[in-house]
């Protein structure tokens, strides 16, 4: 038949082989050419993602709400809770005699204290006037400079000089304070009560 003659013709078979070879060649060329372009495009995409990630700004954190502004405290470290005794007149009722004895102020003698906002405490210590420094640090901590021992000597009432000396030492030993039932109380480093003031009449 003509078809069979055409199919088995040597010239057509050679042409078919050439077409097949050309097809394989083009396929190989396409792999060689297309693959680098694919890699190049993929690399460009990766670089673009990295670049965007580096330059993008992180989400801003929500602004924290700041507390309402309060009055600036004095540089002496006073706090709002300390205002309860500043500027008031206090009279000492009880004190530690520095030997562990809780003692009442001697009859006929008076020890007073007035705390000012500028970090000074002054008053009468049973025999002499005094003025010294104090500082409130972290509430309810307090620090006193020991008052200077005056040269004046008092004879009465009995024991007034040792009482005055004990008062100065107790001030120096004071570490913390509290106001309980209108009493201003100071404590030493072991939290033992060493001074108790009452509001002066």
Give long-range contacts, CB 8 A cutoff, 24+ apart: 102-108.
Answer: 102/193, 103/163, 103/166, 105/163, 106/157, 106/158, 106/159, 106/160, 106/163, 107/157, 108/156, 108/157
pLDDT tens by residue, 44-56: 644 554 444 544 4
Task: Say if residue 38 is in the same domain as residue 127.
Answer: no
Residues 48 and 91 in one domain: no
Task: Please state, for a pLDDT cut of 70, what percent of the chain lies above it.
Answer: 60
Backbone φ and ψ of 60, nearest 5°: -70, 135
Residue 34 shares a structural domain with residue 88: no
Q: Which of 15, 38, 54 is the last residue of a domain?
A: 54
* Structural domain range at position 96: 80-199
**What's the whole-number average pLDDT of the chain?**
76
Statement to judge: residues 122 and 185 lie in one domain: yes
The confidence band for 17, taking pLDDT boundaries of 50, 70 and 90, is confident
**Distance, CA of 192 to CA of 88 (rounded, Å):** 24
This model's pTM is above 0.95: no
The 3-state DSSP class for residue 142 equals: strand
């Amino acid at each position: 038949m003509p078809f069979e003659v055409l199919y088995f013709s040597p010239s057509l078979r050679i042409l078919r082989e050439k077409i097949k070879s050309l097809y394989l060649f083009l396929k190989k060329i396409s792999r060689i050419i297309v693959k680098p372009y694919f890699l190049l495009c993929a690399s460009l995409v990766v670089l673009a993602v990295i670049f965007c990630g580096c330059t993008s700004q992180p989400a801003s954190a929500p602004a924290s709400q700041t507390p309402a502004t309060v009055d600036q405290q004095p540089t002496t470290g006073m706090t709002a809770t300390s205002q309860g005794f500043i500027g008031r007149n206090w009279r000492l009722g009880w004190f530690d005699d520095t030997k562990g004895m809780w003692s009442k102020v001697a009859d006929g003698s008076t020890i007073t204290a007035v705390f000012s906002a500028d970090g000074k405490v002054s008053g009468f210590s049973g025999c002499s006037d005094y003025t010294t420094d104090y500082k409130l640090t972290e509430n309810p901590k307090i620090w006193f400079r020991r008052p200077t021992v005056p040269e004046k000597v008092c004879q009465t009432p009995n024991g007034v000089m040792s009482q005055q000396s004990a008062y100065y030492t107790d001030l120096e030993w004071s570490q913390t304070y509290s106001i309980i039932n209108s009493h201003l109380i100071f404590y030493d480093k072991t939290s033992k009560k060493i001074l108790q003031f009452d509001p002066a009449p």
